[in-house]
Amino acid sequence: MILRTFGWSFAVTALGLVAALLYGGPAGLALVAVLAVLEISLSFDNAVVNAKVLDRMSPFWQKIFLTIGIAIAVFGMRLVFPLLIVGITAKLNPIEAIDLAFNDHEAYADRMHEAYPMIAAFGGMFLLMLFLDFVFEERADKWLPWLERPLARIGKLDQLSVVVAGGSLAFVAGNFADDPGQVMIAGVLGMVTYILVNGLGELFADGGDLGEEGEGKGGTGPNGLVLATGKAGFFLFLYLEVLDASFSFDGVIGAFAISTDPVVIMLGLGIGAMYIRSLTVFLVRKGTLHEYVYLEHGAHWAIGALAACMLISIGSHVPEWITGGLGAGLIIAAFLSSVLRNRREGDGEPGDEAGEGKELHPTGVSGS
């Protein structure tokens, strides 16, 4: 099953490393390998959240996310997105932006770093809204009951997540940003994007645009559907793409501290993105999130930590090892807590329940 799930990732890794060796020699090969590890370490929590949402999508939309979504993630976010940001901020046309990227790496990196406060504000606010909506919702399972219980209690106040996120944005923009206006605009757009995708998902969920098992149930994602199809499936796909983009911002910017060559960055981060997609498939096929119930909690607390790091980095750089270490530490702690819970309650082997009857191939085709 490992080969079937991670086979495409292994193939892309081999091709990517060969391409890196031919393009940049041994130094290029080493840089691509380091960037791939960086991307995986920063995005593990992304895979957990993706798996929770992907588990509720129909086989068709799973396939779309794991095929077209990969192309968007690898080429769109790791190559086109930096070029787009540089072109907009430097007021360059596409040809000039491409010329700058491939012929003046240092200037290209400088432009990306200049745009980082706006990028961090957008991505940080999107992720912060996701985190707040999770912790302010009442849940049967509580990983940190001493903290999650009072948060769920105060979360009954309508639109509290918007109030907290907006207040956080105003504080960061007013105290840490060199250009508060641009940071405020980017942050508000991040909040609006989350609210819009969330609202559209709920709208089409209420309209009954579900699959055969389409009874709603609470959980991560804009609408918490099971086997969402049609418009609901499309907005879940859109939600996942925006979520993936928000996670990618930090990794793309952080990559410039390792290399300023856009080809090297795309190869390294692209390999990492493939492993995140394969890990998402693995978690769905094994039913891991159903068995280890606190993993979802750990992933969302890691998202909250990442959002905080992105907002802090608007005024002061946060090293990538801190961002990745916080996320990995929270998820490992949640996993160990889940193992202890299962032992106390005498649960069966992982995958006995949710993992059966719903196998995904690496391309996203359901085996059921």
- Predicted confidence (pLDDT) per residue in 222-251, tens digit: 444 445 566 777 877 887 888 777 777 767
Cα distances (angstroms) measured from residue 260 to each of 77, 85, 112, 120, 257: 16, 15, 10, 19, 7
- pLDDT at site 219: 45
Q: Is the pLDDT of residue 267 over 60?
A: yes
Q: Quick check: 360 and 285 in contact, CB under 8 A?
A: yes
- pLDDT at site 303: 86
- pLDDT at site 227: 56
User: Is residue 355 one of the residues assigned to a domain?
Assistant: no
Please give the average per-residue pLDDT across 1-10, as a whole number. Answer: 78
Q: Is the pLDDT of residue 259 over 50?
A: yes
Per the DSSP assignment, residues forming a β-bridge with 228 are 57, 210
- Predicted confidence (pLDDT) per residue in 170-208, tens digit: 999 988 888 899 999 999 998 998 888 777 766 655 544
- Express as a percent the part of the chain with pLDDT over 90: 13
Q: Which residue has the higher pLDDT, 214 or 124?
A: 124
- pLDDT at site 201: 62
User: Is residue 350 one of the residues assigned to a domain?
Assistant: no
pLDDT band at 212 (very low <50, low <70, confident <90, very high): very low
User: Is residue 360 one of the residues assigned to a domain?
Assistant: no
* Residue 63 domain boundaries: 2-345
Q: Is the pLDDT of residue 16 over 60?
A: yes
- pLDDT at site 166: 93
pLDDT band at 217 (very low <50, low <70, confident <90, very high): very low
User: Is residue 361 one of the residues assigned to a domain?
Assistant: no
Q: Quick check: 143 and 337 in contact, CB under 8 A?
A: yes
Q: Is the pLDDT of residue 2 over 80?
A: no
- pLDDT at site 15: 92
Instruction: Tell which phi-psi region holds residue 223, choosing left (phi > 0), alpha (psi between -120 and 50) or beta.
Output: alpha
Q: Is the pLDDT of residue 368 over 50?
A: no
SS (H, E, C) the chain: CHHHHHHHHHHHHHHHHHHHHHHHHHHHHHHHHHHHHHHHHHHHHHHHHHHHHHCCECHHHHHHHHHHHHHHHHHHHHHHHHHHHHHHHCCCCHHHHHHHHHHCHHHHHHHHHHHHHHHHHHHHHHHHHHHHHHHCCCCCCCCCHHHHHHHHHHCCCCCHHHHHHHHHHHHHHHHCCCCHHHHHHHHHHHHHHHHHHHHHHHHHHHCCCECCCCCCCCCCCCCCCCCECHHHHHHHHHHHHHHHHHHHHHHHHHHCCCCCCHHHHHHHHHHHHHHHHHHHHHHHHHCHHHHCCHHHHHHHHHHHHHHHHHHHCCCCCCCHHHHHHHHHHHHHHHHHHHHHHHHHHCCCCCCCCCCCCCCECCCCCECC
User: Is residue 50 one of the residues assigned to a domain?
Assistant: yes
Confidence (pTM): 0.74
The crossing angle, in degrees rounded to 10, of helices 105-135 and 94-103 is: 110
- pLDDT at site 173: 92
- Predicted confidence (pLDDT) per residue in 84-135, tens digit: 877 877 777 888 888 888 888 888 888 888 888 888 898 889 889 989 988 8
- Predicted confidence (pLDDT) per residue in 287-343, tens digit: 777 888 888 898 889 888 888 988 998 888 887 778 778 888 888 898 899 899 888
- pLDDT at site 350: 45
Separation of alpha carbons 213 and 216, rounded Å = 9
User: Is residue 353 one of the residues assigned to a domain?
Assistant: no
Those residues with Cβ within 8 angstroms of residue 51's Cβ, 6 or more apart along the chain or in another chain: 279, 280, 283, 284, 288, 289
Per the DSSP assignment, residues forming a β-bridge with 360 are 366
Total domains present in the chain: 1
Please give the average per-residue pLDDT across 10-22, as a whole number. Answer: 90
User: Is residue 279 one of the residues assigned to a domain?
Assistant: yes
- Predicted confidence (pLDDT) per residue in 156-171, tens digit: 888 899 999 999 999 9
Separation of alpha carbons 357 and 368, rounded Å = 5
Closest CA to 229 of 49, 366, 62: 62
Separation of alpha carbons 159 and 154, rounded Å = 11
What's the one-letter identity of residue 1? M
CA dihedral of 123, 128, 130, 132, whole degrees rounded to 10: -170
- Express as a percent the part of the chain with pLDDT over 70: 85
User: Is residue 358 one of the residues assigned to a domain?
Assistant: no
- pLDDT at site 171: 94
What's the one-letter identity of residue 241? E
- pLDDT at site 62: 78
Compute the mean pLDDT over every residue in the chain, rounded to the nearest whole number: 78
What's the one-letter identity of residue 27? A
